[in-house]
Structure 1
Amino acid sequence: MTTTHPRGRPARLLAATSAALLLLAACTGGSDDDGKDAAAGYDPAAAVELTWWTGQTSEAEQVAERLAAEYHAAHPNVTIKTSPGAPTTDDLLTKLSAGFAGGSYPDISYAYGNWAGDLGASGRTQDLTSYVADPAFAWTEMPAAARAVATADGKVIGIPALVDNLALIYNKKLFDAAGQPYPTDDWSWEDFRAAAKRLTDASTNTYGTAYSVSGGEDTTWHLWPLLWQHGGKILDGTTPAFNSEAGVKALETLRAMAVDDRSMYLDQTDQKYGPLFNSGHVAMMLSGPWSLLDIKDAKLDYGVAVLPGVDGDHQTVSGPDLWVLFDHDDANRAGASRAFIKWLTSAEVDAKWNLAVGNLPLRSVEQGTPEFAAYVREYPGGQKFFDNLANAKQARPTVPGYEVMSRNVGDAIAAVLQGAAAPKEALDEAARKSAGALED
């Protein structure tokens, strides 16, 4: 099984992460933001050693090591110490939080985008706002949702490391066997529900679709596109707003499939629905381009369509991850880390990084590269996911407390889909429990 993609195992919020957030909160404000540029006085010729926590394992870590060596060969004064940083990507927040408390943390680290608010509030990140505004950086070549996630409290704290989005992946063999037409980009959620019901076959343990009820971010972020399509929003400032009429309608759409139709496989772990799709026991999966790696290994005949929509609105959610750059009160380390990440995320080098390990390209201009053409050939549906970035019109909030709120919303969704709660009451309770964590 391919293990290069850190998002291929989408568990997000574990008990260890909750502990990490408490530690991170204790570190918040540990260094003053005096408005000074962390790289002011940077000497590009100075000898510098950078620590880079890549968040990668297996083949992708080897690619990162090769790229670090390539950069060092071109810039002999810059040595980059490369490591995954933690046993899994999910463990990085715990490691970073402990590092902040102990004064030992990297210059650059991979981070899930939904950590941005808490990391930004730590007082340890660089303010890159002016740096990325330089036309030479070509900041606007990166998707708007990714740029938004890299911004916390009005400051750019990192550079997108990975871009993605949710779309509808379907098993053509199961559709053909049921005599059903394939999904189209014009489907409504009513079309999706009807197809899921027709494709469910209890005699073969086959479900029309699936949903994670682990309660983590994989549970929560799948609800946001439906919320947005109904005209709702996640927050109003720092006040929960997901329990609006739009949120209730969104969750009711899912509840009807899970409880009334029983056409939705409920995954208690968020680790099972992907393999069940690949083995032919789930007909449609709402997932991202990371799933294409395992689907390729399974040799499945599949297709990709945009998410079903509401009144023609097919908004999706993007889960951009980041290279977060940290301040060590050393202008040369700050400047060198910026120069390295600018190089790594350039169109030329990104083709050697993201496209090489099966991810979407970071920059729009990469669509015309030979590497992107090779990616689309290797992963049918890759072009659809790339085009679907245009439907990622909103971003998850980058506010401190998002992780706590996500767990509360995830628990509410899980309870509703398992028939233990009604949408309105469950979302109201999640909003009540989240209010304190989101206060300024």
Structure 2
Amino acid sequence: MRRRSLLTGALAAPVLAAGCARDGSSADSAGGRTRITYAIWDPLQVDGMRKIIRAFEAEHPDISVKLQVTPFESYWTTMKTAMRGGTAPDVFWMNAVNSQLYASNGVLEPLDPFIERDGVDMSEHPPELVRMYTYDRTHYAMPKDFDLIGLWYNKKLFDRARVPYPDDTWTWDTFRDAAAELTDPKRGVHGVAAEMAKQYTYYNTIAQAGGYVIRDGESGFDDPRSIEGLRLWTDLIDRGWSPSQSAMTDTIGRQLYLSEKVAMNWDLSAMASQMYASPAIKDHGDVAVLPKGRQRATTIHGLANVISGKSEKTEAAWEFVKFVSSRPAAEIQSREGVTISSLAGTQRPWVESMPEFQLQNFIDMLDYAVPYPSSKHTAVWENLQPRLLGGPFTGRGDIAEAARTLARQMDLALEQEK
């Protein structure tokens, strides 16, 4: 059975004709105002989104926005149930993992008619992000923000080991040497957290090695250079320069970094505010660009806003989606310091919101960012990775053999998408 058929009841619900705006003035309106619903999952962004909503409502007094916050752990289950039951929010957050799945099942409103009508310039957002939310040459989402991966490091631990701080001259060799020198068994400190965390670790090094995760509907895990990118991490664990994978199952790399048990950790730009909230890391933590392999690369991801294909208030929903990606909203979001606004020229307030950190490094890495790998059923083949790569990441088995097995099984999953 093709996996698309498994979603028939959950996502493939009937929708109105794509691209046709529907007048919401008669539905769920009060006092002459059209009310739309907006679903998100990140509690750290609630304050910023409320400020954006207030600014939008001030400009559009005929539209009100009701914010719905659902924890990420239950967000997608809740969304599928709402789609099936006809109670989906008018506007909601989308990520790369689910974008093609929702677009291909016809439950999202195509945005091209609105973009063309209103002259929205999509080139003001990172092209990798725009492509991430384009399906079958149609835009289904408006980018809101982006995140990249940087090399977070603890200056106190570097100083104690007399290791120079990382900078843009670092290569994989420099990184490995530093991890060895920073590892201090007597103090219970490791040089780096070599976590089996796709977006944070090996997706980046696969690209840096010149490999790829997916291309033209086929897996790249069996490519020799992809294997080279994976092996960087398993070697760090095997040599004792990283905590064991089992230790990082109980306490993830981010927490080990925050508790000063690892000197380096590859992590999101979106975690900057969490780092800043830690007195120790605010005082002697910082971030650098990722070290260079055969080439430079960092994974870009970002959230986007979509309109439900079942919304009866498409015009109002579009006005809101357009506003959230506009300069006034982007500047509000940037000042909040939680995430980087995707609109060109609005990132400076975010960079300056935490002056103790060299956040400009994230902006500089945009020049060589690679998009988060995805397909229609990203979650299916991503779920194969912990099971098939877990052995080598825990010191059992060879990473090359595991990667080739993963590629074969991933290709079988991708075949079901056709």
Aligned match for 1:93, one of 63, 66, 76: 76
Matched, 1:410 2:390: no
Give how far 1:33 is off.
8.7
Structure 2's unaligned 5+ residue stretches are: none
1:103 CA displacement: 2.0
1:112 maps onto 2:86 in alignment: no
State the match for 1:17 in structure 2: none
Match of 2:207 in 1: 228
SS at match of 1:219: coil
Summarize the alignment of residues 267-306 of structure 1 with structure 2, pairs less than 5 Å apart.
Answer: 268-269=248-249, 272-299=252-279, 300=281, 301-306=284-289
Matched residue, 1:6: none
Check the 8 A contact 1:151/1:158 in 2, yes or no.
Answer: yes
CA contact (8 A) 1:309 1:315 kept: yes
Partner of 1:321: 303
The one-letter code matched in structure 2 to 1:256 is D
Gaps of 5+ in 1: 1-19
Q: 1:335 aligns with which of 309, 315, 323?
A: 315
AA of the residue aligned to 2:153:
Y
Residue 101 of structure 1: how far off its partner (Å): 1.8
* Equivalent residue, structure 1, for 2:185: 202
Native 8 Å contact 1:54 1:110 kept in 2:
yes
1:421 is matched with which residue?
A: 397
> Given the alignment of the two structures, is residue 174 of structure 1 paired with residue 152 of structure 2, yes or no?
no
Query: Of the candidates 343, 347, 360, which is equivalent to residue 383 of structure 1?
Result: 360
Matched, 1:64 2:49: yes
Q: Is the 8 A contact 1:167 1:385 kept in 2?
A: yes
Change (3 A) 1:279 1:94: same
SS of match in other structure, 2:261: coil
1:250 alignment partner in structure 2:
229
Q: What is the identity, as a one-letter code, of the residue corresponding to 2:149?
A: L
Q: Are 1:366 and 2:346 counterparts? A: yes
Aligned to 2:371: 395
Residue number in structure 2 paired with 1:137: 120
* Residues 263-306 of structure 1: CA deviation (Å, up to 9, x unaligned): 34535448532122122211111112122222212232123221
| DSSP 3-state at the match of 1:387 | helix
Among all aligned residue pairs of Structure 1 and Structure 2, give the percentage whose two residues are the same amino acid.
21
- Partner of 1:13 in structure 2? none
CA shift, 1:21, in A, is 9.6
Q: Are 1:24 and 1:118, in contact at CA under 8 Å, matched by a contact in 2?
A: no
TM-score by length of 2: 0.88
Alpha-carbon distance between aligned partners in 2 of 1:49 and 1:281, rounded to the nearest angstrom = 49
State the superposition RMSD in angstroms. Answer: 2.8
CA offsets 1:369-426 (integer angstroms, 9 cap, x no match): xx3464253x52221112222221x213442121111121233333211112211221
Alpha-carbon shift at residue 23 of structure 1 (Å): 6.3
Is 1:160 matched with 2:152? no
Cα pair distance change 1:437/1:132, threshold 3 Å? farther
> In structure 1, what is the Cα distance between the partners aligned to 2:83 and 2:143?
22
Tell me the amino acid that sits aligned with residue 127 of structure 1. Answer: P
Distance 1:277 1:376 in 2: 18
Return closer, same or farther for 1:153/1:409 CA change in 2, 3 Å cut-off. farther
Contact persistence 1:38–1:127 (CA under 8 A)? no
Give 3-state SS (helix, strand or coil) of 2:345's partner. helix
Q: In the aligned structure 2, how far is the partner of 1:53 from the partner of 1:230? A: 38
Counterpart check, 1:189 vs 2:172: yes
- Taking the aligned partners of 1:245 and 1:366, their CA distance within structure 2 comes to 39
Please show how residues 74-93 of structure 1 align to structure 2 within 5 Å.
74-84=59-69, 86=70, 88-93=71-76
User: Where does residue 12 of structure 1 map in the other structure?
Assistant: none
Letter in 1 for 2:407: A
Match of 1:310 among 286, 293, 296: 293
Q: Distance in 1 between matches of 2:104 and 2:389?
A: 28
| Contact persistence 1:288–1:385 (CA under 8 A) | no
- CA displacement at 1:37 relative to structure 2: 1.2
8 A Cα contact 1:211 1:219, kept in partner: no
Partners of 1:269 and 1:153 in 2: how far apart? 38
Does residue 37 (structure 1) correspond to residue 38 (structure 2)? The answer is: no
Distance 2:131 2:251 in 1: 28
Query: How far apart, CA to CA, are the structure 2 residues paired with 1:119 and 1:271?
Result: 33
Counterpart CA distance in 1 for 2:40 and 2:173 is 42
CA distance in 2, matches of 1:208, 1:373: 27
Q: Deviations over 1:89-128 (max 9, x none)?
A: 2321111111122222111111332221222223110111
- Tell me the amino acid that sits aligned with residue 92 of structure 1: Y
Length, aligned pairs only: 406
